[in-house]
Structure 1
Amino acid sequence: MTSRPDREAMPYRDCVGIALFNAQGKVFIGRRKADSDPEQSEERGAPWQMPQGGIDRGEDPLRAALRELHEETNVASVSLLAEAPEWIYYDLPDDALGIALKGKYRGQRQRWFAFAFTGAEGEIDVVAPGGGKFEAEFDAWRWEKLSRTPSLIVPFKRQAYEKVVAAFADIPERFSHG
């Protein structure tokens, strides 16, 4: 029997998350490819999520958010709306500890940014982002109400998504009124 990693001794991985809003105030969500990440295994269900990814050493979180958004969705036409006021954390479930996130991390510490999508929908390409330069992480995408995203994410990230919804709750209203 293998011993379980010591969760308390493991660090969080510094990451960014992106809430990309369209002109109707809905947010971009992508469906994770089944083979793209062991932490998103089939039995966990709920394969939809907003774009997210790691912050490279020495990289500014806003720059990381713009880079990750482009690498996962091909989107570059955005304007910054808001940044969540604090880091948002989630822990991996016990059965993924020591396996997911390269086995090195207990979960993620995420900086979340909200952007307005200012381009045409044809710019979005999750199948061959960057003209195929980046590996696809999603196989489909759609626009969704921000308030619905916690019910679409894997259960262990639900609390983190509830904090994202709270941080950006006023943004969909901005679109409906103006």
Structure 2
Amino acid sequence: MTDTPPEGYRPCVGLALFNAQGLVFIGRRANKSLREHVAPGHEWQMPQGGIDDAETSLQAATRELQEETNVTSVTLLAEAPGWLTYDLPVDIGKEAWKGRWRGQAQKWFAFRLTGPDSEIDIATPAGGHKAEFDAWRWERLDATPSLIIPFKQGVYREVAALFAPFAAA
């Protein structure tokens, strides 16, 4: 991995996938029994995932996008200038990652979908991965912070500000 996240945080990527109308892809988390789903009604999020040891953050971003949405027809619009972090509530962190990480440091990327909406397939993701989402829709970027789990809302407000220029058709 070429870029180093802040100490104590799990290295991760986040993906804002925009359509031609300037809306972003959001998916509803499929496994609502996971410990970190502590706020009913806040199950929606943009794709995200961990960075493997041999990957750059951009490689992880394109891999995660394909694994969670099946999408490969994209144009890179931007990369956030730094890491955006959030802390997990302590009890969740102890259980989720056995206390190894205090939260996640995310490198965010904005992509524009260049293929048809029909390319999106959350039910049978690429590479035989388990579906992360059980529903998806296009949403206004500035609406996403209120849809995500509360402890991630600060990151989503930062993402909405950083990528606001792409939220126009």
TM-score scaled by length of structure 2: 0.90
Q: Do structure 1's residue 72 and structure 2's residue 31 form an aligned pair?
A: no
Contact 2:11–2:104 (CA<8 Å) still a contact in 1?
Answer: yes
| Cα distance per residue 1:109-145 (max 9 Å; x no partner) | 0000000001111111111112x71110100000000
Gaps of 5+ in 1: 1-9
* Structure 1 residue 35, shift from structure 2 partner: 4.5
The structure 2 residue matched to 1:144, chosen from 132, 139, 149, is 139
Match of 2:107 in 1: 111
Equivalent positions of 1:138-177 (< 5 A) are 138-173=133-168, 175=169
Q: Name whichever of 154-163 and 43-52 sits farther off.
A: 43-52
Give me the whole-angstrom Cα distance separating, in 2, the residues matched to 1:108 and 1:158: 13
Give me the whole-angstrom Cα distance separating, in 1, the residues matched to 2:112 and 2:98: 32
Give me the whole-angstrom Cα distance separating, in 1, the residues matched to 2:99 and 2:135: 27
Match of 2:95 in 1: 99
Match of 1:52 in 2: 48
Gaps of 5+ in 2: 1-6
The structure 1 residue matched to 2:8, chosen from 5, 8, 11, is 11
* Structure 1 residue 36, shift from structure 2 partner: 6.9
Match of 1:25 in 2: 22
* Structure 1 residue 101, shift from structure 2 partner: 3.8
Contact 2:70–2:125 (CA<8 Å) still a contact in 1?
Answer: yes
Q: What stretches of structure 1 move > 4 A for 4+ residues in a row?
A: none
Match of 1:7 in 2: none
Give me the whole-angstrom Cα distance separating, in 2, the residues matched to 1:116 and 1:155: 27
* Structure 1 residue 40, shift from structure 2 partner: 2.3
CA separation of 1:153/1:25 partners in 2, compared to 1, >3 Å: closer, same or farther?
Answer: same
Give me the whole-angstrom Cα distance separating, in 2, the residues matched to 1:14 and 1:66: 15
Contact 2:18–2:110 (CA<8 Å) still a contact in 1?
Answer: yes
One-letter code aligned to 2:12: C
The structure 2 residue matched to 1:39, chosen from 36, 51, 65, is 36
Contact 2:90–2:102 (CA<8 Å) still a contact in 1?
Answer: no
CA separation of 1:45/1:93 partners in 2, compared to 1, >3 Å: closer, same or farther?
Answer: farther
RMSD of aligned alpha carbons: 1.6
Larger Rg: 1
Work out the percentage of aligned pairs sharing the same amino acid: 60
Contact 1:85–1:167 (CA<8 Å) still a contact in 2?
Answer: no
Give me the whole-angstrom Cα distance separating, in 2, the residues matched to 1:85 and 1:116: 18
Give me the whole-angstrom Cα distance separating, in 2, the residues matched to 1:25 and 1:66: 19
One-letter code aligned to 1:137: E
| 2:53 counterpart SS class | coil
| 1:40 counterpart SS class | coil
